[in-house]
Amino acid sequence: MELDDVMLSVYRQVLGNAHVTESDRLTTAESQLRNRDISVRQFVAAVALSDAYRQRFFDTNSQYRFIELNFKHLLGRAPRNQAEIAEHTAIYAAAGYEADILSYIESDEYSSVFGDNITPFTRTDSAQLSQTRDFLRTINQCRGFASSDLAQSQPNARSLASNIAESANPPTATRSGGNRNGRFEIVIDMPRNSAVNRRAAQVITVDYAQLSQRINVIQRQGARIRTIKPVAK
């Protein structure tokens, strides 16, 4: 049952929360994962290289939007600058579609954050927190659990291309549930000398409206933020 949950999580993340039909499922790769013949990372690669992924995100979008979605689905964040977009445009031009997809999954960043056995997830890291624009670009990609990337616009392209300030756009309410109040889970490492909490990590859940304020408080306390991700209400 645990592997079934992992596979569903991979489909949900990599396919942008789009509805997965039986024809979309990769039965051979699923069997290989159940038999431990491949890792979760290799299963992520199989889904990202599938016809379902290509048809949903490559065939129907500009290359710019496609790269932005690859960052979201495979690295769990928004592209940080125009240079990252240009890098992947060059990879695609020189080596093709498959090479560009694998460049995310085989990157040092993917290895250090997710390794071989963790499903990618929406996150922010310390590098993004040092640049408010990068943080907001990733947060603006998180539209709640009831939304699908098939219906999303291109939230970051203009600000990246022009290097202009990013504005915060909290997740919108949906009739089907979703992240109605824009709640986020912050996982932090407390300072070693903290008397508040001596566990290795602490989880804080906060509404979108208080997110920036809470981040400032955490940083003033000397704690380190591991991840920030949206959570269902």
Q: 2-120 — its CATH code?
A: 1.10.3130.20
| Per-residue pLDDT, 213 | 73
The tokens describing 227, both together, are 């991840």
| Per-residue pLDDT, 16 | 87
Q: What is the residue extent of each domain of the chain?
A: 2-120, 183-230
The tokens describing 121, both together, are 């997830």
Range of 32-46, 139-153, 218-232 with top mean pLDDT: 32-46
Percent of the chain with pLDDT over 70: 66
Mean pLDDT, residues 139-155 = 55
Q: pLDDT grade, residue 151 (50/70/90)? A: low
The tokens describing 205, both together, are 């859940």
Q: Decide which of 182 and 196 is more confident.
A: 182
Q: List, as one string, the DSSP characters of 105-151.
A: HTSHHHHHHTTTT--------HHHHTSHHHHHHHHHT---TT--GGG
- For 6-35, the pLDDT digits (tens) are 999 999 999 988 888 888 999 999 999 999
Q: pLDDT grade, residue 165 (50/70/90)? A: very low
pLDDT of 75 strictly over 70: yes
| Contacts of residue 52, Cβ cutoff 8 Å, sequence gap at least 6 | 15, 20, 24
Q: Are 82 and 174 in contact (CB under 8 A)?
A: no
Q: Decide which of 233 and 84 is more confident.
A: 84
Q: Decide which of 104 and 147 is more confident.
A: 104
For the chain, what is the mean pLDDT? Answer: 77
Q: Could you tell me the CA-to-CA distances from 2 to 6, 7, 20, 28, 231 in Å, in that order? A: 6, 9, 19, 18, 20
| Per-residue pLDDT, 123 | 79
- For 185-200, the pLDDT digits (tens) are 778 877 765 444 445 6
| Per-residue pLDDT, 170 | 47
Mean pLDDT, residues 115-119 = 94
Can you tell me which residue has the tokens 């008397």?
195
User: What class does CATH assign to 183-230?
Assistant: alpha beta
Listed in order, strand segments (DSSP E) in the chain are: 183-189, 202-207, 224-230
| 226 closest CA partner among 124, 144, 142 | 124
Q: What are phi and psi of 115, to 5 degrees?
A: 65, -150
Angle at 226 between CA 188 and CA 208, to 5 degrees: 75
Coil, helix or strand for 45?
helix
| Per-residue pLDDT, 36 | 94
Q: Which amino acid, residue 202?
A: Q
